[in-house]
Structure 1
Amino acid sequence: MLSIQSLSKRYNTGDRALTNVNIQIPKGQVVALIGPSGAGKSTLIRCVNRLVEPTEGQVFLGDTQLTQLNTRQLRAARRRMGMIFQDYALIDRLSVMENVLSGYLGYTGFWRSFLRRYPQDVIAEAFRLLERVGLESFIDKRADALSGGQRQRVGIARALLQNPQILLVDEPTASLDPKTSRQIMRLIRELCAERELSAIINIHDVHLAQQFADRIIGLKAGEVVFDGEPEALDTDMLTLIYGEEDWNPQTDTEDDDSVQTQTPDPIRMGAKVAMV
């Protein structure tokens, strides 16, 4: 599905953000990228859709080699990659519905988008998506009147309106409280399962990654140092990725909107796992 081959990124300063990254992601797999700040997680996601141009290597989405596309071809290819941003990237003065419909801009011409003339089936799909993410009663509300979790749900619906093959998700919970963070991660996971979507999620919260991802990739200084199932991410590997730290169990007292089971587990860093 997505194939990243010998990918490297070196900036003009000479600093290397990524070094020889090789990742294969099959259809429907949810992958979490973890690692300390500056490890290259955001750069990797942005190299996939070429918001950042890689220095070396190749990226394939299916049979399409993204790294060789010209501007027009890349614009078309980006329709197949839904991007969900840390800062939401909404237009505050527009309504929730208008922000979701902006996800269709890659398919429509300038004047139709400028005049906000969208096909009726696209509008109907936007309604369905807003209902699915729990915002059906917020359709006409301005984006700047929403909470952080609501804004992230708008971003998710907008990305899905593109009908993508893969989601590229950059720190979706960075600005959210613990309860809302779990809700957003659960929603992304459920939507990927419903639509057989692959996803790469750059996330700082290790226990959320372990709870909601099929696979975890650990980056350190731009290199892959771990690639495996969440259960394999033990304290030794966490120390390799992040450095020395006390990974002993601790009590997490956050509440959730679902029934939870607390199971002490040093591998999961002592975090409480919501069983949903």
Structure 2
Amino acid sequence: MLSLKSVSKRYKTGDLALKEVTLEIPEGQVMALIGPSGAGKSTLIRCINRLVDPTEGVITLDGEVISSLSARGLRKARRRMGMIFQEYALVERLTVMENVLSGRLGYVGFWRSWFRKYPAADVQEAFRLLDRVGLKHMADKRADELSGGQRQRVGIARALIQDPALLLVDEPTASLDPKTSRQIMRLICELCEERHLSAIINIHDVLLAQMFAKRVVGLQLGEIVYDGPPDGLGPDVLTQIYGEEDWEATISKVEDEDENDEEAPEPVASA
């Protein structure tokens, strides 16, 4: 379980990015993190994996206090936090297989990683994960030959080969078309369910958050202003998170999409 207690982050400029955020994410729960730009969503994720150090508060993962770990302890803890990036963060000149195996860098020695001499078990697991995300046939392709949806699938496999306890997902659909976005969100949620993984998905698309997440947390100016089920995001709540707008159209669209999804589920292996 991930726990945040009164986590705040104030930058050197004086800007308060997070204000006393308290959250608990149980094992296996997929949580969508929504809010306008500048609300603190990315800062929250970066505080959890300590790419940014919180100014105050305590962050624990399965009882280990992440927020006070030494550099060495943090390196070990990050093995258990898989990261999926908006811009994929792949090495373009490397193959799909090599990019997936790079998720094992925290476990193998420097020279083995330098010469790409990964254990046979790691290679077998990489093939298994690529098969699961629909890309086994592309293992030898270079990353720069892939579409956006395929690149994101490689990023998902790379995160999972770490054998994490938690997935931190930063805008996984921002660069994708609507159909591929739905496929990627569905795939992430399915994998979390299969592996009993917790996940925090930072996402701008309210519709996708409502369709796929079991829990939605809304941030406004670094504070939690909503924490509840997707169907609780009514016009008043969305106005509190984002400001005045005609939210009835968004809510109606969610209901229509839910009905269409029940009638005609989409495959996930073609993106």
Corresponding residue SS for 1:83: strand
Counterparts of 1:149 and 1:70 in 2: how far apart (Å)? 36
Aligned to 1:18: 18
Aligned to 1:260: none
Q: What residue identity is the alignment partner of 1:198?
A: S
The answer to whether structure 1 residue 123 and structure 2 residue 108 are counterparts is: no
Question: How far apart are residue 63 of structure 1 and its match?
Answer: 1.1
Q: Does structure 1 retain, via aligned residues, the 8 Å contact 2:211–2:254?
A: no
Query: Any idea what the Cα deviations from partners look like across 1:49-101, whole Å, max 9, x if unmatched?
Result: 00111111110001100011001100000000000011100000000000000
Aligned to 1:175: 175
Question: How far apart are residue 233 of structure 1 and its match?
Answer: 1.1
Counterparts of 2:115 and 2:123 in 1: how far apart (Å)? 14
Q: What residue identity is the alignment partner of 1:103?
A: G
Pairs aligned (count): 261
Counterparts of 2:140 and 2:119 in 1: how far apart (Å)? 19
Query: Any idea what the Cα deviations from partners look like across 1:142-189, whole Å, max 9, x if unmatched?
Result: 001111100000000000000000100000000000000000000000
After superposition, where does 1:177-216 map in structure 2 within 5 Å?
A: 177-216=177-216
Aligned to 1:87: 87
Closer, same or farther: CA 33–193 of 1 in aligned 2, 3 Å: same
Q: Does structure 2 retain, via aligned residues, the 8 Å contact 1:207–1:271?
A: no
Aligned to 1:217: 217
Q: What residue identity is the alignment partner of 1:64?
A: E
Aligned to 1:262: none
TM-score between the two structures when normalised by the length of structure 2: 0.94
Corresponding residue SS for 2:227: strand
Q: Does structure 2 retain, via aligned residues, the 8 Å contact 1:100–1:161?
A: yes
Counterparts of 1:214 and 1:129 in 2: how far apart (Å)? 24
Aligned to 2:268: none
Counterparts of 2:75 and 2:248 in 1: how far apart (Å)? 47
Counterparts of 1:55 and 1:214 in 2: how far apart (Å)? 30
RMSD: 1.1
Q: What residue identity is the alignment partner of 1:123?
A: V
Counterparts of 1:269 and 1:136 in 2: how far apart (Å)? 33
Counterparts of 1:33 and 1:5 in 2: how far apart (Å)? 17
Aligned to 1:272: 257
The answer to whether structure 1 residue 54 and structure 2 residue 39 are counterparts is: no
Counterparts of 2:136 and 2:192 in 1: how far apart (Å)? 20
Q: Does structure 1 retain, via aligned residues, the 8 Å contact 2:170–2:202?
A: yes
Question: How far apart are residue 247 of structure 1 and its match?
Answer: 1.4
Counterparts of 1:270 and 1:194 in 2: how far apart (Å)? 26
Aligned to 1:78: 78
Question: How far apart are residue 232 of structure 1 and its match?
Answer: 1.0
Aligned to 1:166: 166
Corresponding residue SS for 1:37: coil
Gaps of at least 5 residues in structure 1 are 251-264
Gaps of at least 5 residues in structure 2 are 266-271
Question: How far apart are residue 218 of structure 1 and its match?
Answer: 0.1
Aligned to 2:64: 64
Aligned to 2:3: 3
Corresponding residue SS for 2:107: coil
TM-score between the two structures when normalised by the length of structure 1: 0.93
Question: How far apart are residue 249 of structure 1 and its match?
Answer: 2.6
Corresponding residue SS for 2:248: coil
Q: What residue identity is the alignment partner of 1:119?
A: P
Q: What residue identity is the alignment partner of 1:14?
A: G
Q: Does structure 2 retain, via aligned residues, the 8 Å contact 1:8–1:57?
A: yes
Question: How far apart are residue 271 of structure 1 and its match?
Answer: 5.8
Counterparts of 1:154 and 1:59 in 2: how far apart (Å)? 29
Corresponding residue SS for 1:249: helix
Q: Does structure 1 retain, via aligned residues, the 8 Å contact 2:169–2:201?
A: yes
Question: How far apart are residue 137 of structure 1 and its match?
Answer: 1.0
Q: Does structure 1 retain, via aligned residues, the 8 Å contact 2:210–2:254?
A: no
Moved over 3 A (4+): 268-271
Bigger helix share: 2
Counterparts of 1:136 and 1:107 in 2: how far apart (Å)? 23
Aligned to 1:233: 233
Question: How far apart are residue 248 of structure 1 and its match?
Answer: 2.4
